[in-house]
Amino acid sequence: MSSQQNHKLCMIPGPVEFHEDVLTSMSTKATSHVSPSFIPVFGESIELLRKVFVTEQGQPIVVSGSGTLGWDMVASNLIEPGEDALVLNSGYFGDSFAACLKVYGAKVTEVKSEIGDRPTLQEISDALSTKSFKLITITHVDTSTGVLSDVKAISELVKKQSPNTLIIVDGVCSVGSEEIRVDEWNLDVVLTASQKALGVPPGLSILIVSERAIQTFKDRKSPIPSYYASWAHWLPIMNAYESRKGMYFATPPVQLIYALNTSLKQITSTPLETRFEQHKKVSDQIKSVVESLGLQFVPKSREVAANGMTAVYYPEGIQPADLLQKVASHNVVIAGGLHRAIATKYFRIGHMGISVTEPERKHIDNTITALTTSLKELGYSGN
Ligand SMILES: *Cc1c(COP(=O)(O)O)cnc(C)c1O
């Protein structure tokens, strides 16, 4: 812990704080991506990802890139020009996923909720009944609003009403902090990135793809309109490393995969249920503090609020830059707003990964203290 003493805590919704062992494991000497020392590390990471996503059959794909590349992978491999996609929109990231799908020729229908809310099952059902959708996308946690979607319930609805529709989950801000079960919930693609609740520096795009999604990809009639993102290139690579053989398409980020391996071992060393409970508990703690300060959440209710982050409106009379700077002066970095319509009106706190699972680090306590002290110093006295 001491090696990180002199830095401001990074309590934003990703990148999150990184464990020392994760950081140390990255600083290897130059290592070939087909070296006998690296191949098993990559292979084991692929296996560990199945545990984290609670899947036996799902195919992990790990590629250099950020979470955004996951949208391009979904759109380029699964959508053929002119096909219909249904995007559930609970904020900024729904807008972006829709924009990405359109680039690859999808005809996008959106079910858009008001800021702070999520589409209702009735609205989703109504939309599903209008067309035969190739796929539906769900943003599990929209990081711009802190709104949590009920992926399990939506998946059950889709299975009943439109069983051929592929179920795609943007889990960039949820994998590792929210309950997610790929096989049990019948999900076809869950995409995420390294720097949020998985606790690894930015640079990895990570997906789990169902057998059904792979079949859909294999059955497509039109060529894949991407070179780098094509699963035709990546699936053989993943299969090779998992069977402990090196193979080349594009150089994997060797050091980041060492870091991923370390983090995944840490994550899977305790039951996932415990991890989800810890995130719930810490989220409740932070949200109770926010409430007791008389501040208002961006999510309409606690029921639709994420457990790995909290989005809060500034109180009357407090300027955005003032609060963020004040909190930083107490050595904690929190984030400003992201949703375009309200960007200057709210702030966001991330509470994921080791900040949650290792309370002895006091990240949460320090964040709460920095926030309450800063508000007081700016003259806010609550209600
Ligand atoms: C952060 C985030 C993304 C984008 O991930 P990048 O790694 O920044 O490309 C996509 N969706 C959600 C829900 C996110 O939180």
Q: What confidence score (pLDDT) does residue 190 get? A: 98
- Ligand 1 centroid distance, CA of 67 (Å): 5
Whether this model's pTM surpasses 0.85: yes
Q: Is the pLDDT of residue 108 over 70?
A: yes
Whether the CB of 64 sits within 6 Å of ligand 1: no
Q: Is the pLDDT of residue 1 over 70?
A: no
Whether the CB of 193 sits within 6 Å of ligand 1: yes
Please compute the mean of the pLDDT values over residues 290-298 and round it to a whole number.
97
Whether residues 212 and 294 fall in one domain:
no
Q: What confidence score (pLDDT) does residue 5 get? A: 74
Whether residues 74 and 201 fall in one domain:
yes
Query: How confident is residue 365, by pLDDT bands cut at 50, 70 and 90?
Result: very high
Whether 162 is covered by a domain: the verdict is yes
Whether 383 is covered by a domain: the verdict is no
Whether residues 247 and 220 fall in one domain:
yes
pLDDT digits (tens, 9 = 90+) for 2-50: 568 789 999 999 999 999 999 999 999 999 999 999 999 999 999 999 9
Provide the domain limits for residue 54. 21-267
- Ligand 1 centroid distance, CA of 357 (Å): 22
Q: What CATH number is given to the structural domain containing 139?
A: 3.40.640.10
Which among 267, 299, 315 is the end of a domain?
267
Please compute the mean of the pLDDT values over residues 202-223 and round it to a whole number.
98
Whether the CB of 66 sits within 6 Å of ligand 1: yes
Tracing tokens 């107490």 back to the chain, one arrives at 330
Whether 243 is covered by a domain: the verdict is yes
- Nearest ligand 1 atom to the CA of 144 is 15
DSSP, residue by residue, 348-371: EEE--THHHH-GGG-HHHHHHHHH
Read off the tokens for 101: 């799908």
- Nearest ligand 1 atom to the CA of 141 is 13
- Nearest ligand 1 atom to the CA of 68 is 9
Which among 267, 289, 321 is the end of a domain?
267
Q: What Å distances lie between residue 51 and 24, 55, 182, 247, CA to CA?
A: 24, 6, 10, 24
Q: What confidence score (pLDDT) does residue 2 get? A: 53
Q: Residues 105, 79: contact at Cβ < 8 Å? A: yes
Whether residues 79 and 117 fall in one domain:
yes
Whether the CB of 201 sits within 6 Å of ligand 1: no
Q: Compute the half-sphere exposure of residue 266: CA atoms within 13 Å on the CB side of its CA.
A: 21
Whether 343 is covered by a domain: the verdict is yes
Please compute the mean of the pLDDT values over residues 86-91 and round it to a whole number.
98
Q: In the chain, how many domains are there?
A: 2
Whether the CB of 143 sits within 6 Å of ligand 1: yes
Q: Is 348 within any annotated ligand binding site? A: yes
Q: What CATH number is given to the structural domain containing 310?
A: 3.90.1150.10
